[in-house]
Structure 1
Amino acid sequence: MSNAHGAVELEVDQITHETSDAISLSFVVPEHRTAQFAYRPGQFLTLEIPCTDGGSVARCYSFSSSPVRDPRPTVTVKRIEDGLASHWLHDNVVRGMRLNALPPSGMFGPENWDSDFVLMAAGSGITPMLSIIKTALFRHDNRMTLVYANQNRESVIFAEQLSELQARFPDRLDVHHWFASDSGLPTAAGLATMDVMVPVDYEAFLCGPTQYMNVAEEWLALTGTTARRTHREVFSSFDSNPFRIDDAALPHESDGKSVTAQVEIDGIETEFAWNADTKLLDRLLELGLDAPYVCREGTCGGCAYTLTEGTVTMLANETLDQHEMAHGVRLACQSVPVSATIRAVFDR
């Protein structure tokens, strides 16, 4: 058993109580790791939480900070019922504590900023939205419409920040709240009764429970508009711990058919034989190559790469959308080769 590639100890610099069950944690990144921990709006940080006797669990938390606005990278953690990691953090984290973290990952944020955004969040799904909103307002020119669903007014995370941003940028940020205590759970028909203007040309960003994201898409379709692209953020608990690599589980010599692979990581290209019964990420780790990854389960997008030549089959995919697939994006942890030659580029 060995430690994960790229794991770094981050020091907790500040703890902010956003609501009775949500805290934000700001981190000090070691100076020599600044480039490695640069992040984009919509990405997440994977933390190792030492909440079990002699062991730990890994969890992903979205950045609520903006890389162009905030001095420290910050994630926000909502206390979840029966949530082992979130309970431990709420009950134990203190300023100066150090936690292991993997470099930022995820593909939820905008690729570009040349269209308007419709942001649909529920509960802690507001976290990556705040990062996107602040970055757009302070660095770009696009307009945004946010529809944010919560149980009641007291459970609104970042209520004050959102109010201040809307007051400062009234022509560019339009915020609408839905409270289940007043109106019941959101429905497409219910959202249609709200006075929400949906722009003609926009990208949609959805984050929250699956049922809410489905309702949001249904409502957007009722508006008669078509999103340029729709992004959905889905987090799952890991079956494995990316901070602890089981070396025995990595592939070894096989008698199966092999292909020739050329893989570029951080500008360095390596050519090697790749067995047809082995996942690409497993082969890269076996070779000691520093490929990015988090969950190894096809749910987070942390090992995404661009397939520039050849064909692969993905055994599972819970994170890439049709747009990404059409542009050659694949997941290394789920890719097995089909064609005789493969070329892949990790351009994190």
Structure 2
Amino acid sequence: MNARAHELKVREVISETADAVSLIFDIPTDLTGRFTYAPGQYLTLRVPSERTGSVARCYSLSSSPDGDERPTVTVKRTPGGYGSNWLCDNVSAGDVLTVLEPAGNFTPRSWNRDLLLCAAGSGITPIMSILKSALRLGRGDIAVLYANRDRPSIIFATQLQELVRRYPRRLTVVHWLESERGLPTARGIAGLARPYRRNDVYLCGPAGFASTVKQGLGQLRVSERSIHEEKYRSLTDNPFEHATIAHPDPVGPVPVASAESAIVTVDIDGETHTLPWPRTKKLLDVLLDHGIDAPYVCRESACATCICSVKQGRTRMLMNESLIEEELAQGLTLACQTLPESDSLHISFDQ
């Protein structure tokens, strides 16, 4: 079992709409530090499956660490979606779920900038977390553009109204309802977003909605660098079922670099390991093959859970959807996508 997986008790289940529920977790005292999270992050839940043993599903935290007492994820039913339907139909207060520690990097780097928060459907969950923290911690003005099928399908409708009442000078919430206006259009989004075109944009929703929003913002000449998108994706690897090989580093002569392998020294969890690193194999796979329980969730460069620092040597990433230029300049990389380019390398997970 993944060392970052823990059993958490569900304290309460709240029905948000006919198709969405919020799961509020109790965090044991000894796990408080491990479940400290940033606004916009998510939890990965283990959902039992008779066919595969389990499936792993990621759900954004809709709670804010800056005001909400307990971490909460909100789950909306997806047509044909096994995980979301199982959670909505089967989980009750008092149940215990296996949950990975918080992950993700969909978090503003400054709370004092003006924000445009765009969401559709269940995409409101990380947006809600960011919104509550920004209002409590920051000084900027915030606009929320939220698209839904109809009024009854608006998740957090009451909470959004209450926040507008409490912060009337800083918060504007604009709803786009398909029942009244049809599907969102780039032109329509541009019209609504025009007053906020200089704000930092945080965007979460289905691919079609996200594409429409970016087209609309493009019409306003909003820089792509100002748009931060949280993408829905299905995990290709189950972090709950991955069996690590529990054997120590090989005893004997220190490995040497060759045409096929580099040599890497890795600092992780207070220990140091020196390993051969095949030049065509990603660092995360090398560590797991040696029984080293490196952190990961998505294995697709999106969650930044496997972030580490290159202290010596050169590496290259096959994909990067998480790290910005400043972080790359600091020597940060993603173990799930990183290959060696030097003969000798030093990597540290202990930041």
TM-score by length of 1: 0.89
Q: Does 1:258 align with 2:255?
A: no
Written as runs of structure 1 = structure 2, the 5 A alignment for 1:198-209 is 198=196, 200=198, 202-209=199-206
Structure 1 vs Structure 2: percent identity of aligned residues?
45
Q: Which residue of 1 is the match for residue 24 of structure 2?
A: 26
SS at match of 1:214: helix
How big is the shift at 1:335? 1.0
1:270 equivalent to 2:272? Answer yes
Q: Distance in 1 between matches of 2:102 and 2:85?
A: 23
CA deviation after TM superposition for structure 1 residue 24, in Å: 0.3
In the other structure, the counterpart of 2:299 is: 296
**Superposition map of 1:108-147 within 5 A:** 108-147=106-145
Cα displacement (A) at 1:270: 2.8
1:42 equivalent to 2:45? Answer: no
Q: Which amino acid aligns with 1:280?
A: L
Work out the CA distance in 2 between the residues paired with 1:122 and 1:347.
37
Aligned to 1:17: 15
* Equivalent pair of 1:198/1:223 in contact (CA under 8 Å): no
The change in CA–CA distance for 1:54 and 1:334 in structure 2 (over 3 A counts) is: closer
Q: Check 1:73–1:227 CA distance in 2 against 1; reply closer, same or farther (3 A cut).
A: same
Between stretches 288-297 and 24-33, larger displacement belongs to 288-297
TM-superposed deviation, 1:328: 4.3
Task: Classify 1:249/1:31 alpha carbon distance in 2 versus 1 (closer, same or farther; 3 Å).
Answer: closer
Q: Which amino acid aligns with 2:338?
A: S
* TM superposition shift of 1:53: 5.0
Q: How far, CA to CA, are the matches of 1:83 and 1:166 in structure 2?
A: 33
**Following superposition of structure 1 onto structure 2, how do residues 3-14 of structure 1 map, counting pairs within 5 Å?**
3-14=1-12
- The one-letter amino acid of 1:186's match is P
Q: 1:6 to 1:155 in 2, by over 3 A?
A: same
Corresponding residue number in structure 2 for 1:75: 73
2:104 touches 2:302 (CA, 8 Å); kept in 1?
no
| Structure 2 CA distance for aligned equivalents of residues 66 and 86 of structure 1 | 22
In the alignment, the residues of structure 2 paired with residue 273 and residue 229 of structure 1 have an alpha-carbon distance, to the nearest angstrom, of 40
Q: What is residue 63 of structure 2 aligned with on the other side?
A: 65
* CA gap 1:112/1:86 in 2 versus in 1, 3 angstroms: same
Q: Are 1:280 and 2:278 an aligned pair?
A: no
Q: 1:6, CA displacement in angstroms?
A: 1.7
Task: Tell me the matched-pair count.
Answer: 344
Q: Could you tell me which amino acid in structure 1 is paired with residue 234 of structure 2?
A: S
Distance 1:88 1:61 in 2: 13
Compare 43-52 and 319-328 and name the one that shifted more: 319-328
Q: Partner letter of residue 212 of structure 2?
A: V
List runs of 5+ in structure 1 lacking aligned partners: none
TM superposition shift of 1:274: 3.6
- Alpha-carbon separation, structure 1, partners of 2:331 and 2:215: 28
Q: Which residue of 1 aligns with 2:191?
A: 193
Distance 2:259 2:24 in 1: 48
Q: In the TM superposition, what is the alpha-carbon distance from 1:171 to its structure 2 partner?
A: 1.4
Conservation of the 8 A alpha-carbon contact between 2:148 and 2:176: yes
Distance 1:117 1:193 in 2: 17
Residue 226 of structure 2 corresponds to residue 229 of structure 1: yes
1:175-234: per-residue Cα shift (whole Å, max 9, x none)? Answer: 11111121111111012333752153x321110112211221222222244365321111
Match of 1:332 in 2: 335
Is the CA contact 2:194–2:220 (under 8 Å) kept in the aligned structure 1?
no
Query: Quick check: 1:198–1:225 contact (8 Å CA) kept in 2?
Result: no
If the length of structure 2 is used for normalisation, what is the TM-score? 0.88
Secondary structure of 2:102's aligned partner: strand
Residues 1:181 and 2:212 aligned together: no
For 1:192 and 1:107, locate their aligned partners in 2 and report how far apart those are by CA, in whole Å.
27
**Are the aligned partners of 2:246 and 2:290 in contact in 1 as well (CA < 8 Å)?**
no
Unaligned runs of 5+ in 2: none
- 8 Å contact from structure 2 (residues 113, 139) kept in 1: no
The corresponding residue for 1:215 is 212
Deviation at 1:127, TM superposition (A): 0.2
Provide closer, same or farther for how the CA distance between residues 306 and 218 of structure 1 changes in structure 2, counting only shifts above 3 A: farther
Aligned 8 A contact 1:118 1:204 in 2: yes
The match for 2:243 is 246
